[in-house]
Chains A and B, each alone.
Chain A
Amino acid sequence: MSTPSRDAIVRLSGVQKIYKLGKVEVPALKGIDLEINAGDFAVIAGPSGSGKTTLLNLIGCVDVATTGTVMVDGHDTGTLSESALTRLRLEHLGFIFQSFNLVAVLDAFDNVEFPLLLQGKLNKAERRERVEDIMASVGLTDYMHHRPNELSGGQRQRVAVARALVTKPRIVMADEPTANLDSQTGHQIIDLMKKLNQEEGTTFIFSTHDPKVMSQADRSIELIDGLVASSEVADDGRLDTPQTALV
C-alpha cells in the first residue's frame, strides 16, 4: 500500500464496489486504497474476476464507487452528476479499448477528430492540424482516410491510441489494449504508448495479462479478489519482470 503523494493524479480511499444481481450482492472491490501519480505508466494486473476492469471503470469515471472516494485529477467522482462525469471524461481522460471500438462508418481521421468535435474548442483548421500531428506520431499519416475495416488490428489500435490522445488528456485508460493483437504488434502499441507517456507526460493506466507489457510499467498494482495484493514502484522506473505469472 502506497503512501499519499502530493502529485497523485488518481487517489482512491476505502473504495468498495458492489454489484447487485437481483437480491445477491456481489462485491467486486472490497476496499481499495490507491494512488497513481501523474506521469505514471501504471499497470493493473490480476486474474480474471479480480476487479481489474471495475477498478479501471471507477478511475475512468464510467462508473462510481459504492462506498469510498475516487479522486481523479482533483475531482471527487462520487459527487459529480452524470453529465459532469461525461465532461470529465471528455476533458481529462482518454480511452483505449481492447477491441479498439472505432466507429465503423467513419474513417481514421474522423474517428480521431471526433473527441475534438465533442469538445468544440478548436476550429476546423486547428482540429485538422491536431489530428494530423497525432496521426503522424502514431505513424498513420498514410492511412488517415481508411475506414477501420481497411486497417489491420495494429493500425486500428493505433487509431484508437490517437483518438485517446488527441484531446491531450491528463490520463489515458487502456483496458487490455493488446489482448486482441499478436504479440509483436502488441509490443509496438505498448512502445508507442510508452513513447507518448515519456514525451507528453501523459499518465497511462492499463490492465493487462501480458508479462512483457508489465515489464514496461513503472508502476504495478496487483489485484486479487477485489483487494490490492501488491503495489510496486520500480526504482529505476522499470518493474522487474514478475516471476510468477499472474494469469
Chain B
Amino acid sequence: MTGTLIRIALRNLLAHKVKTTVVGGILILGTIMLLLGVSALTSMDRAMSQSLTASISGHLQVSMADAKDKFVLFPSLIDGTEIGEVSDFPKVRKALESLPQVEAVIPQGFDYGMVFGGNLMDVKLAKLRKTHDDIAKPGGQGAYIATRDHVRRIVELLSEDLKNLEAITDEKSRGQETVQGINDVRHAAQPEFWRDFDAQFDARLNFLENKVAVMAIGEDFLFIRYMGTDTARFRKHFHRFEMLEGKPTPPGKRGIMLNHFAYEEFFKHKTARRLDKMKERIEEGYTIADDDQLQDWQRKNVKQYKEIIWQLDAPSAAKVRAVLIEAVGDQKAPDLGSATPHPTSATQAEAAAKAKPAVADKVPQTQEQKVRAEMVRLVSTFFDMNDTSFSDRYALFYKEIAPRIRLYRAKIGDVLTVRGEGAGGYAKSTNMKIYGVFQFRGLEKSILAGAVNIIDMMSFRDLYGFMTADKVKELAEMQKAVGVKDIARDEAEDAFFGGGDDEPSTNDEAGTDDALLGEAAGDAVDPANAATAAVAGAGKTGDAGFDEFADVDMKQGAQRWSDSLLNRVYTEKEIDTGVVRNAAIILAPGADEDDTKAAIEQRVKADKLGVQVLNWRKASGMLGDFVSVIYIVLLVAILGVFGVALFIINNSMVLATIERTREIGTLRAIGMQRRHVLWMFIVESLVLGIVFGVVGSLVGGAIVQWVGSVGIPSGGNTTVIFLFGGPRLFPTLAAWHVGIAMVMVALVTTASTVYPALLATRVTPLEAMQEAEG
C-alpha cells in the first residue's frame, strides 16, 4: 500500500510541475544554507578550538573556585579580572597530571603591563655618553660629533614641536611642570647651550637626560599584554607556537618572547608599519584614490615626517636627502595644514594653521635651518604617495631609509623594562631580555591572540606584585647598599636600581663600565648592551625614588643585579611554586573534553583542591559566546527560510487538497480509511522532503566541497581571522551535517502537511458522488 502511495506521491510531484519547482527550490535552498552554515560553523568552531587550545588556552582551564571573577582569556571591558591565585599549584598539577586523560598542566597568568625604554632620546643620549667615553679611540672623535649633532637636531626639533603645542593650547591648560619643561627644552635648543657643550659635557648631558628627555615622551611607553608561563613546558605542549626570529626563552630563564603581531603592530616604527599596512591593503585591491583608510594612513605618514627626521643623524640625513631629491625632485610639498584630520573646533583649526608656518614655511634663518626645512619638504613630499608611485617609494623606503632609522623600538637581545599593573598589591617593574619573536600558527593576524606575548613565570610574579623570594632578597641588597633602613612600599619599585650583588655574574661582559654605555638598539644579540636599554628606560620612570638615590652609583649595582637575575636558571619546582593565576590543561590524545572535565572535577572535589574547571569555550569568554551567537543567527536565518518553505508548502498542499477533493472522496468511497488519507499526505510530504533534501544535499555538499577547497576569505578582519583560525576558513562536510539537513527538511515538509492532511481527512465520500450537482 505504501508503495502505491509513494508512487502516487512521486507522480503528483511530476504532475504539478510549477508547484514542485517552487517548493523544491525553496527546500533545496534551505538545505544548501543549512549545509553551508552548519559546516562553516563546525569548521569555525574546530578551527578556533584547534588554534586556541593549541596556542593559548589549552583544552581546559583551572582557576581558583572561590574567586570574585571567572577566568576569561580575553577579558572585555566588563569582565572582572579578580580571578585569584591558585593556592597550591604544585599540588594541583600533581593531582591532575596523575589522571590518564591529562597530558600536562601548565601554569599561566595573563596581565597587562607598560613597556618603557626604547625612547629615541634616551637611546641617543646613551650613545652620546658612550661615544664621549670612546673619544680617544680611532674614529671616536667623528662618532662623538655626529652623535652630538644628532642629539642637537632632536632637541631643536623638539623645541619647534613644543612651539606648536604652545600655539594650540592656552597657557592655563598647561601645568606648571609642562611650562617648566618647555622652558628647559627651549633652553637646550639655544646655540649657547651647545657652544660649550663639550667642556661642560657631564652637566649638559645630565640636563638633557633629566630635564629634556622627559619632554620627548610622545612615543615613550606602550601597553603590552603578556602571559606568564613555564616557557619550556609551554613550548612543548602548545603546538601552534612557532619561533620566527631569535630563539625561545631558555628553560628556566627570565625573558620575554614577543608575539610577531604585537611586535609589528606596537614595536615597529610607525611610519614603516603604516606603509606595510598600506601595501597589504593595496594588494587587497583598494586604491589610495578611493579608500578612506589608505588616505588616513597616507595623511599620517605625511604629517608625521618627524618620525623619520628625528632619527637621522647628519650623515644619514645627507644620504636620505640625496635619495629623496632624486625620488621626489622639486615636487611641491603637500599642504600640511589641510592634512590636519578633523580639528575639533574652529579655534583649533585656526591655531593649527597659525602653527604651521612655524614648521614648514618658516623663513630660514641659518643654513642649518634651511637644510632642515628642505628636509621636511622632501620627507613629507615623499610620503605623499599615490597609487602609481606607491610601490616604488615603498621599496625605496625599505632600501634607503629603513636601514638608517630604528625600525623597531626594541630588538631581539634587548632588555625590556616592563611595569606591571600590580594586580597582586603594588605596581612593579622588571627587566626581561627579548629572546625572540614568535607567532601562533593560524592566529598570525589575530589582534586578540596576536597581542599575547610570553614571559617567564618569575617575571610574571614580579609584575603581578607578589613578593617573590628574589624580590625579598633584592630589597635587602638594596637597603644594604644605599644605607636606607626602611623603604616605603610605594618607593620599593623605584628602589629596584640600588644595591650590590653577592651572586657571581655569569655574564662575562655584564657589570663592566662598557656595558653601561652600550646602545640599547645595538646591532647584535648582546645582553650587556641590551641591559642598558633597561637602565635608560628605568631612568625614564624616575620619579621621587630615582632622585633620592641620585648620588649613589646605582646604575652599576642595578646592572649587576639585573644581570644576575637575567642569567639565573630557575628549576621547574621554583617555576611552579608561587603565584599561578590559572593553568591550562592539555588533554592526552583522544581524551574527551567533557569526560576529562568531569574526571578533573571529581579529583578536585576528592583532593579539596579548591579550583574550578572551565572548558576553553567558556574560558574564551566573549569569543566562545560569539560562535554561539553566530549559531543562533544562522539558526534564525535557516528557520526563516524554512518558515517560508513551511508557509508555501502548506499553502500549496491546501490548494492540492482542494483540487484533489474528488479524488480523495473517491478513494474514501471505495473504502479508504481516514488514517490512510492522512498517511497518504504524510508520505507525499516525506517524498517531497526526501527528493529535494537529497538534491539539496548533493548541491549543498558540492558547494561545501568547493568552498572547502578555495576557502572563505576573512576579508582581513582580525576578529574574523581569529574565528577562522587563519586568513581563510575551509569548511568540511560531515555525514551528520547531511543528517541534520535531511531531518530538518523532513520535519518542515511534514509539519507543513499537517493542516492540509487534516483537511483531506475531512473530505467525505460524498464529494465523489456530487457529480450531478457539481
The answer to whether A57 and B769 have CB atoms under 8 Å apart is yes
The answer to whether B4 and A97 have CB atoms under 8 Å apart is no
Closest CB in chain A relative to B736 CB, distance in Å: 35
The answer to whether B766 and A97 have CB atoms under 8 Å apart is no
The answer to whether A176 and B673 have CB atoms under 8 Å apart is no
* Given A53-B769, A104-B15, A105-B12, CB of A90 within 8 Å of CB of B4: no
In this complex, what residue of A is CB-closest to B768? A101
The answer to whether A118 and B672 have CB atoms under 8 Å apart is yes
Partner of B771, one of A83, A93, A118, A176: A176
| A110 and B11 alpha carbons, distance in the complex (Å) | 12
Query: Inside 8 A of A60's CB, which chain B residues have their CB?
Result: 669, 765, 769
Partner of A97, one of B672, B676, B771, B773: B771
- Report if A2 contacts B (CB, 8 A): no
Interface string of B670-700 (1 = CB under 8 A from A): 1111101000000000000000000000000
- Contacting B at CB under 8 A, from A158-202, are 163-164, 175-176, 179
Interface string of B150-170 (1 = CB under 8 A from A): 000000000000000000000
In this complex, what residue of B is CB-closest to A48? B772
Interface string of A47-69 (1 = CB under 8 A from B): 01000010011001011000000
| A48 and B771 alpha carbons, distance in the complex (Å) | 12
- Report if B666 contacts A (CB, 8 A): yes
Closest CB in chain A relative to B675 CB, distance in Å: 9
Query: Inside 8 A of B663's CB, which chain A residues have their CB?
Result: 101, 103-104
Partner of A105, one of B8, B668, B671, B764: B8
| A62 and B674 alpha carbons, distance in the complex (Å) | 13
The answer to whether B771 and A115 have CB atoms under 8 Å apart is no
| A175 and B666 alpha carbons, distance in the complex (Å) | 13
The answer to whether A57 and B8 have CB atoms under 8 Å apart is no
Query: Inside 8 A of A95's CB, which chain B residues have their CB?
Result: 666, 669-670, 768
The answer to whether A62 and B4 have CB atoms under 8 Å apart is no
- Report if A229 contacts B (CB, 8 A): no
Closest CB in chain A relative to B306 CB, distance in Å: 84
In this complex, what residue of A is CB-closest to B771? A98
Query: Inside 8 A of A119's CB, which chain B residues have their CB?
Result: 671
The answer to whether A90 and B7 have CB atoms under 8 Å apart is no
The answer to whether A175 and B674 have CB atoms under 8 Å apart is no
Partner of B671, one of A48, A97, A106, A118: A118
- Report if A99 contacts B (CB, 8 A): yes
In this complex, what residue of B is CB-closest to A120? B1
The answer to whether B771 and A62 have CB atoms under 8 Å apart is no
* Given A103-B8, A120-B1, CB of A86 within 8 Å of CB of B771: no
| A120 and B2 alpha carbons, distance in the complex (Å) | 11
- Report if A150 contacts B (CB, 8 A): no
The answer to whether B4 and A110 have CB atoms under 8 Å apart is yes
- Report if A87 contacts B (CB, 8 A): yes
Query: Inside 8 A of A126's CB, which chain B residues have their CB?
Result: none
| A105 and B11 alpha carbons, distance in the complex (Å) | 6
Query: Inside 8 A of B143's CB, which chain A residues have their CB?
Result: none
| A62 and B671 alpha carbons, distance in the complex (Å) | 10
Partner of B670, one of A56, A99, A106, A163: A163
- Report if B662 contacts A (CB, 8 A): yes
Q: Point out which of B14, B663, B670 has the most chain A C-beta atoms below 10 A from its C-beta.
A: B670
Query: Inside 8 A of B1's CB, which chain A residues have their CB?
Result: 117-118, 120
Partner of A86, one of B12, B671, B766: B671
Query: Inside 8 A of B669's CB, which chain A residues have their CB?
Result: 60, 62, 89, 95
- Report if A113 contacts B (CB, 8 A): yes
The answer to whether A106 and B766 have CB atoms under 8 Å apart is no
Closest CB in chain B relative to A166 CB, distance in Å: 10
| A53 and B11 alpha carbons, distance in the complex (Å) | 32
Partner of A99, one of B4, B673, B771: B771
Query: Inside 8 A of A114's CB, which chain B residues have their CB?
Result: 4, 667, 670
- Report if A91 contacts B (CB, 8 A): yes
| A60 and B673 alpha carbons, distance in the complex (Å) | 16
Query: Inside 8 A of B768's CB, which chain A residues have their CB?
Result: 62, 95, 97, 101
Query: Inside 8 A of B674's CB, which chain A residues have their CB?
Result: 82-83, 86
The answer to whether A90 and B11 have CB atoms under 8 Å apart is no
* Given A62-B764, A103-B663, CB of A90 within 8 Å of CB of B671: yes
The answer to whether B769 and A56 have CB atoms under 8 Å apart is yes
Closest CB in chain A relative to B667 CB, distance in Å: 7
- Contacting A at CB under 8 A, from B637-671, are 662-663, 666-671
* Given A86-B671, A101-B666, A103-B667, CB of A62 within 8 Å of CB of B765: yes
Partner of A175, one of B8, B12, B670, B769: B769
The answer to whether A101 and B765 have CB atoms under 8 Å apart is no
Query: Inside 8 A of A176's CB, which chain B residues have their CB?
Result: 771-772
* Given A101-B662, A104-B15, A118-B676, CB of A91 within 8 Å of CB of B771: no
* Given A56-B769, A62-B669, A101-B662, CB of A113 within 8 Å of CB of B4: yes
Closest CB in chain B relative to A178 CB, distance in Å: 13
Interface string of B752-774 (1 = CB under 8 A from A): 00000000000011101111110
- Chain A contact residue count (CB 8 A cutoff): 38
Query: Inside 8 A of A118's CB, which chain B residues have their CB?
Result: 1, 670-673, 676
Interface string of A75-103 (1 = CB under 8 A from B): 00000001100110111011101110101
| A106 and B666 alpha carbons, distance in the complex (Å) | 14
Interface string of B1-24 (1 = CB under 8 A from A): 100100110011011000000000
The answer to whether A62 and B766 have CB atoms under 8 Å apart is yes
In this complex, what residue of A is CB-closest to B5? A117
In this complex, what residue of B is CB-closest to A56? B769
Interface string of A108-131 (1 = CB under 8 A from B): 001001110111100000000000
| A117 and B671 alpha carbons, distance in the complex (Å) | 10
The answer to whether A106 and B772 have CB atoms under 8 Å apart is no
Query: Inside 8 A of B764's CB, which chain A residues have their CB?
Result: 62
| A53 and B7 alpha carbons, distance in the complex (Å) | 33
Closest CB in chain B relative to A56 CB, distance in Å: 7
Query: Inside 8 A of B14's CB, which chain A residues have their CB?
Result: 105
| A38 and B590 alpha carbons, distance in the complex (Å) | 79
In this complex, what residue of A is CB-closest to B668? A86
In this complex, what residue of B is CB-closest to A207? B772
| A236 and B296 alpha carbons, distance in the complex (Å) | 112
Closest CB in chain B relative to A11 CB, distance in Å: 21
The answer to whether A91 and B667 have CB atoms under 8 Å apart is no
The answer to whether A106 and B4 have CB atoms under 8 Å apart is yes
Q: Point out which of A56, A57, A179 has the most chain B C-beta atoms below 10 A from its C-beta.
A: A57
| A196 and B676 alpha carbons, distance in the complex (Å) | 30
In this complex, what residue of A is CB-closest to B12? A105
Partner of A106, one of B11, B676, B773: B11
Query: Inside 8 A of A163's CB, which chain B residues have their CB?
Result: 670
| A175 and B770 alpha carbons, distance in the complex (Å) | 10
| A27 and B758 alpha carbons, distance in the complex (Å) | 31
Partner of B673, one of A86, A91, A175, A179: A86
Query: Inside 8 A of B770's CB, which chain A residues have their CB?
Result: 53
Closest CB in chain B relative to A82 CB, distance in Å: 7
Query: Inside 8 A of B765's CB, which chain A residues have their CB?
Result: 60, 62, 86, 89
Chain B residues in contact with chain A, CB under 8 A?
1, 4, 7-8, 11-12, 14-15, 662-663, 666-674, 676, 764-766, 768-773
Chain A residues in contact with chain B, CB under 8 A?
48, 53, 56-57, 60, 62-63, 82-83, 86-87, 89-91, 93-95, 97-99, 101, 103-106, 110, 113-115, 117-120, 163-164, 175-176, 179
Task: Using A53-B772, A63-B766, A93-B671 as known contacts, list a sample of 9 further A-B pairs with CB atoms less than 8 Å apart, ordered by residue number in A.
Answer: A60-B769, A62-B765, A86-B668, A87-B673, A97-B666, A97-B769, A103-B667, A115-B670, A118-B672
The 8 closest A-B pairs by CB, nearest first: A90-B671, A105-B11, A62-B765, A101-B666, A98-B771, A117-B1, A89-B671, A118-B671
Q: Can you list 26 A-B contacts with CB-CB less than 8 angstroms, sorted by A residue number?
A: A53-B772, A62-B668, A62-B768, A82-B674, A86-B672, A89-B670, A89-B765, A91-B671, A95-B768, A97-B771, A101-B662, A101-B663, A101-B768, A103-B663, A103-B666, A103-B667, A104-B663, A105-B11, A105-B12, A114-B670, A118-B673, A118-B676, A120-B1, A164-B670, A175-B771, A179-B771
